[in-house]
Amino acid sequence: MEKQSVILGIESSCDDTSVAIIKGRKILSNFIANQEIHSEYGGVVPELASRAHQQNIIPVIQKGLSNAGMSLDEIDAIAYTRGPGLLGSLLVGSSFAKGLSMGLGKPLIEVNHMKAHILAHFIDDNSSTPSFPFLCLTVSGGHTQIVLVKSALEMEILGGTIDDAAGEAFDKAAKMMEIPYPGGPLVDKYAQSGNPRAFPFKISSMKDYNFSFSGLKTGILYFLRDNVAKNPHFVKENLHDICASIQYTIVETLMRKVEKASKDLNITEFAIAGGVSANSELRKRFLAKEKEGWKSHIPNFDYCTDNGAMIAMAGHFLYEANEFGQLKSTPNPRMKF
Ligand code: KG4
Ligand code: ZN
């Protein structure tokens, strides 16, 4: 039987301060403090994010512990996000994790944020768990990748975006329509009652398993500029159709590559991970592939956008493999797989 290790996970890579406690694969608590401050600036302001992490980290740790009904001496190890992410944000979580590790005399575990998004699928909850090997589309605000997951600790990136990430495409499109940051969830909401074919945008076709969303961004910019010049109320009057059309284009771009990877590698075990995996259209399209024999694994909503639970889950696997971190290691904003 797997050892029921208790890991405290700290996530602070972008604008969410989160702490979770996992016992074995069961989440005992997962507390997230979102930073509202960025919405008025239309995107994450790194300086403000690190300050907010600094203010949040102690109350969030306390909340994580009290929600789990645990004290620090019951923790076996401290896992934290080493990267990728914003340096100032990562510094808060990593410094705090190191302080805890030294103070408690408990081991430190360095987690890669993008791998953790994928490993969130192994949390023991009501969602299905993928079998190895599987393909994972990781789509967040900073990354868009197709990953071949051979085991919990062995992953290979098959392709990624050469410019903007899928989440960034959602957020930038939203910003052009004056939808507050982060725009992705609101575009999703407005798209529910819109026509996805109302305004056709070009779907980029990159080589291999790579993506590009910068052309779509420019396409949307010109489309809005031209239509607003003719009718100043164009966005307001067509918001739902515009959102549905943009969402359709982003999701279709992702699905085409996913289908290609599945065909080329002859793998039908598929998962989605990262903030954009909360998108209702992407989830629907993935689940629809089950009719074609796929096993589609969709994460629980709680574990799509940034959270400490995924860091704790990744920490569990690293702990079991005796892969511990070092006090001298520094946060890595461009941490590779
Ligand atoms: O993984 P995440 O929380 O942070 C990063 O690691 O980047 O992802 C955040 C991204 C944002 O771009 C946000 O707009 C997007 O995920 N997102 C969505 C939805 N929910 C979150 N995009 C589209 N539809 C959604 N429902
Ligand atoms: Zn993330």
Q: Which residues contact 246 (CB under 8 A, 6 or more apart)?
A: 170, 173, 187, 191, 201, 216, 220
- Range with the lowest mean pLDDT among 31-40, 123-132, 149-158, 177-186? 31-40
pLDDT value of position 3: 60
Q: Measured from the CA of 16, which atom of ligand 1 is nearest?
A: 3
CA of 105 to the centre of ligand 1 (A): 36
The pTM score is 0.96
Average pLDDT over all residues of the chain: 96
d(CA 12, CA 230): 44
- Cβ atoms within 10 Å of 40's Cβ, excluding its own: 9
pLDDT value of position 319: 98
From 18, 114, 140, 283, the mutation candidate for ligand 1 (largest count of ligand atoms within 8 A of CB) is 140
CA of 258 to the centre of ligand 2 (A): 20
Q: Whose CA is nearest to atom 14 of ligand 1?
A: 184
CA of 226 to the centre of ligand 2 (A): 34
Q: What is the pLDDT of residues 311-328, one digit of tens each?
A: 999 999 999 999 999 999
Domains 6-120+304-320 and 130-298 share a fold: yes
pLDDT value of position 36: 85
pLDDT value of position 287: 97
Fold annotation for 130-298: Nucleotidyltransferase; domain 5 (3.30.420)
Q: What is the pLDDT of residues 31-63, one digit of tens each?
A: 999 888 888 888 899 999 999 999 999 999 999
Average pLDDT of the segment spanning 300-310: 97
Q: The domain 6-120+304-320: what is its CATH number?
A: 3.30.420.40
* Angle at CA of residue 134, ends 291 and 83, nearest 5°: 130
Residue boundaries of the structural domains of the chain = 6-120+304-320, 130-298
pLDDT > 90: percent of the chain = 95
Q: Nearest CA to 117 among 151, 86, 81?
A: 81
CA of 267 to the centre of ligand 1 (A): 26
Q: What is the pLDDT of residues 78-111, one digit of tens each?
A: 999 999 999 999 999 999 999 999 999 999 999 9
For ligand 1, say whether the CB of 43 is within 6 Å of any of its atoms: no
Given a cut of 90, whether residue 244 has pLDDT beyond it is yes
Q: What is the pLDDT of residues 133-145, one digit of tens each?
A: 999 999 999 999 9
pLDDT value of position 1: 61
Record the tokens describing residue 148, joined without a space: 């071949």
For ligand 1, say whether the CB of 194 is within 6 Å of any of its atoms: no
CB 136 within 8 A of CB 147: yes
Given a cut of 60, whether residue 2 has pLDDT beyond it is no
For ligand 1, say whether the CB of 140 is within 6 Å of any of its atoms: yes
CA of 106 to the centre of ligand 1 (A): 33
Ligand nearest to the CA of 182: 1
d(CA 329, CA 319): 17
pLDDT > 70: percent of the chain = 99
pLDDT value of position 323: 98
For ligand 1, say whether the CB of 85 is within 6 Å of any of its atoms: no
pLDDT value of position 337: 85
CA of 242 to the centre of ligand 2 (A): 26
Given a cut of 60, whether residue 189 has pLDDT beyond it is yes
For ligand 1, say whether the CB of 185 is within 6 Å of any of its atoms: yes
Given a cut of 60, whether residue 117 has pLDDT beyond it is yes
Record the tokens describing residue 267, joined without a space: 């793998």
